[in-house]
């Protein structure tokens, strides 16, 4: 009897551990991205200019904070479209650089499906972005080339053009 009772207790303990483990493994915790916006941009390898600009503007800590943020992130190719010398000049003008970068950021998490029902969104910089979904998704004059890149503190939408506030 004692041996049977001990086996039952041990079986119950093992079952509890297995069930608890499956509940944790199946939770959203396991699915949540571990990297924040900055670390995700660094790891992608196509945002070197953006990351350098974020560092030069002193915005790293902000974009690593809890958020959530939505970032419309121009690729290195998008920065290459700017007139010669523009990036270098911006890297020396921290205030103007910060204004341009924060124009790419919307407070809160705006997913691609949300943009379909929006015509505008206020940026952290203070101006508005205009959305057009007639031929793909356009943000002002930039095309979203990859949407919904999830991070631990928001979402990144990759764009093909640097947005300049008016």
pTM value?
A: 0.80
Query: What is the residue-averaged pLDDT of the chain?
Result: 84
Confidence of residue 25 (pLDDT cuts 50, 70, 90): very low
Whether 102 and 124 have beta carbons less than 8 Å apart is answered as yes
Give the C-alpha separation, 31 to 25, whole Å.
Answer: 9
Tell me the percentage of the chain whose pLDDT exceeds 70.
80
Q: Which residue would you say has higher pLDDT here, 27 or 133?
A: 133
Q: Which residue would you say has higher pLDDT here, 31 or 34?
A: 34
Please state the rounded mean pLDDT for residues 158-163. Answer: 98
């Amino acid at each position: 009897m004692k041996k049977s009772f001990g086996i039952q207790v041990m079986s119950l303990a093992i079952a509890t551990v297995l069930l608890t483990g499956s509940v944790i493994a199946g939770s959203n915790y396991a699915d949540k991205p571990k990297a924040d916006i900055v670390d995700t941009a660094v790891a992608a390898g196509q945002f070197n200019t953006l990351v350098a600009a974020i560092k030069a503007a002193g915005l790293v800590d902000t974009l690593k904070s809890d958020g959530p943020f939505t970032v419309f992130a121009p690729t290195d190719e998008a920065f290459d479209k700017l007139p010669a010398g523009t990036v270098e000049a911006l890297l020396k003008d921290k205030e103007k650089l910060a204004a341009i970068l924060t124009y790419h950021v919307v407070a809160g998490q705006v997913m691609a499906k949300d943009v379909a029902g929006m015509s505008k969104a206020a940026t952290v910089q203070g101006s508005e972005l205009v959305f057009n979904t007639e031929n793909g998704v356009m943000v002002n004059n930039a095309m979203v080339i990859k949407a919904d890149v999830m991070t631990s503190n928001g979402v990144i939408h990759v764009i093909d053009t640097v947005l300049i506030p008016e």
